[in-house]
Amino acid sequence: MDWSLALVSQGIEVTIDHQPEGLGWVLIVDPAQAAAAAATIRQYRLENRGWALRRQWRDLGLRFHWAALVWAGVLLAVHALNEAAGGGLAWAGSMSHTVRSTHEWWRLVTATTLHADVGHLAANVSTGLAALGLAMGRYGAGWAGLAALFAGALGNAAGLVFHPDPYRGLGASGMVMGALGLLTVQSLGVWRHPRAAWRSILAGVVAGGLLFVLLGLSPRSDVVAHAGGYLGGLLGGLGLNFLPARLGPGTPADRAAGVGAALLALVCWLQALAVR
* Segment 241-272, tens digit of pLDDT: 889 889 999 999 999 999 999 999 999 999 99
- Check: CB of residue 236 under 8 Å from CB of residue 187: no
pLDDT at residue number 178: 97
Candidates 3.40.109, 3.30.70, 3.40.30, 3.10.20; CATH matching 2-48: 3.30.70
Question: Mean pLDDT, the chain, as a whole number?
Answer: 89
Residues near 154 by beta carbon (within 8 Å), at least 6 away in sequence: 174, 178, 228, 229, 231, 232
25-29, 118-122, 151-155: least confident range? 25-29
103/220: higher pLDDT: 103
d(CA 37, CA 134): 44
The pLDDT value recorded for residue 20 is 74
Section 54-61 average pLDDT: 52
Q: Contact 135/108 with Cβ under 8 angstroms?
A: no
pLDDT at residue number 126: 95
60 vs 94, residue with greater confidence? 94
User: How is domain 58-275 classified at the CATH fold level?
Assistant: Rhomboid-like fold (1.20.1540)
In sequence order, which residues have a C-beta less than 8 Å from that of residue 229 and are 6 or more positions away?
151, 152, 154, 155, 173, 174, 175, 176, 177, 178, 181
Q: How crowded is residue 57: how many other Cβ atoms within 10 Å of its Cβ?
A: 16
Range(s) within the chain of domains with CATH label 3.30.70: 2-48
Q: Is the pLDDT of residue 194 over 90?
A: no
8-57: pLDDT as tens digits: 888 898 888 887 777 788 898 999 999 999 999 898 888 776 555 455 54
- At residue 255's C-alpha, the angle toward residues 226 and 200, to 5°, is 55
Question: Taking Cα atoms as reference points, which of 212, 187, 211 lies closest to residue 198?
Answer: 187
